[in-house]
Amino acid sequence: DIQMTQSPASLSASLEEIVTITCQASQDIGNWLSWYQQKPGKSPQLLIYGATSLADGVPSRFSGSRSGTQYSLKISRLQVEDIGIYYCLQAYSAPNTFGAGTKLELK
Amino acid sequence: EVQLVESGGGLVQPGASLKLSCVASGFTFSDYWMSWVRQTPGKTMEWIGDIKYDGSYTNYAPSLKNRFTISRDNAKSTLYLQMSNVRSEDTATYYCTRDGEYSYWGQGVMVTVSS
């Protein structure tokens, strides 16, 4: 199985701050990487697919990047509504695997 | 508007069977791969498996393959998850999701396995 190592596990940041979350894949997964946001009490929502493509309706302050087998999600200016848990997911090969999640809180 | 609505969860005893359903609307169900994902109380996300748009092919997480079965009825726009011999570690919120990007998720249904 492909392992997705996500960091940090938790993050406390201030409004307007730049936030970066990373996922390291245990092997090459190409661009088969997605990012999801889960707000408290809600279902996960797709933010980024194909490692770098912004999903419909997602604010442009969110962006995804790739360097080899390391993938990053960046929030350029943190807003209150961005609080929640963020997950990466690889869909390169079954079993698809999620990162452990990053809990993002306001400082 | 795309909607996925899960049902069938609840409190079940260890060793029992349970069948979850996910009714889809707002898109042509038979055009899409569908998946089941679960989230533990500790917020760990686990992929359960997926099914091809025509139901002819399925993938499963190896640890669940012998106890869980995914199926679909395209005429009813409904996805199913048959769970057998459930264990306490199956306690989770179960989500159905659409397509390879998991672009839409249902609201989730809770399953609690306890005696």
Is B101's CB within 8 Å of A43's CB?
no
What is d(CA B78, CA B12) in angstroms, rounded to the nearest whole number?
22
Quote the pLDDT of residue B81. 98
Quote the pLDDT of residue B48. 97
> Using one digit for the tens of pLDDT, what is the confidence trace for B81-104?
999 999 999 999 999 999 888 999
Quote the pLDDT of residue B30. 97
Of A43, A49, A50, the CB nearest to B105: A43
> Using one digit for the tens of pLDDT, what is the confidence trace for A30-80?
999 999 999 999 999 999 999 999 999 999 999 999 999 999 999 999 999
Name residues whose C-beta falls within 8 Å of residue B43's C-beta, 6 or more positions apart in sequence. Answer: A85, A101
Q: Strand ranges (DSSP E) for chain A?
A: 4-7, 10-13, 19-25, 33-38, 45-49, 53-54, 62-67, 70-75, 84-90, 97-98, 102-106
Q: Which of A91, A31, A36 is nearest to A58 (CA)?
A: A36
Quote the pLDDT of residue A41. 93
Chain A neighbors of B100, CB-CB under 8 A: 91
With CA atoms as reference, the chain B residue closest to A57 would be: B103
With CA atoms as reference, the chain A residue closest to B58 would be: A94
